[in-house]
Amino acid sequence: MNMENKIYNVLNGIKGNSIITIKYKSNVKMNKGGRSQSNSLYGRDVYRVVDTQLQFGNIYENSVNNRGAKEQGEKINFETQPMKGFKWVKFPYFMESINSGELYVRFYKMKNSQVNKKEVFVDGHKASEDEMAIIKEYEIKHSFYSAKQADAGLTENQVECRNIKLDNIMEICISGEKIIS
């Protein structure tokens, strides 16, 4: 059984909401640069290895409504829209990219999630200080702010999803026990 199947089977066997310590690879997206200066790392294999805690097994709509009710003191009415570029394989856990056919796993960042370790690699080696300076300059930053959650009344402490490609998951620990590595 390959690693992807093992991870799929372990996660598929979890019932309900769980807190998971996960180590995964995430590609660093960067700009090419401008006319006066180009990004020397553009097109190379630049990625982060992140070790953090995430929640698994939540339903996005319920999570937003519950958090909104807790923070607003009254029920909010948040309804999800279909995901762009994905279709559910097994709701609310696994989805498939419509373009590539690759499987992704839906996780959620907790309000108090701590990143235990984050390292950046370039072509398989740990990024040097010079490479990190280039990455910092050209990296495309992502905002996790959701206008749809804000429209429903949840403007702070929004529910943040993490869709992680199944084959980018390197390690999973549940209740302190290493399940996959």
User: What confidence tens digit (pLDDT) does each residue in 70-120 have?
Assistant: 888 888 889 998 889 999 999 999 999 999 999 999 999 987 777 889 999
Q: What is the number of structural domains in the chain?
A: 1
**Which range marks the domain in which residue 14 is found?**
3-180
What HEC string does the chain produce?
A: CCHHHHHHHHHHCCCCCEEEEEEEEEECCECCECCCCECCCCCCCEEEEEEEEEEECCCHHHHHHHHHHHHHCCCCCCCCCCCCCEEEEECCCEEEECCCCCEEEEEEECCCCCEEEEEEEECCEECCHHHHHHHHHHECCCCCCCHHHHHCCCCCCCCEEEEEEHHHEEEEEECCEEEEC
User: What confidence tens digit (pLDDT) does each residue in 34-79 have?
Assistant: 777 889 999 999 999 999 999 999 999 999 999 988 888 888 889 9
What is the model's pTM? 0.87
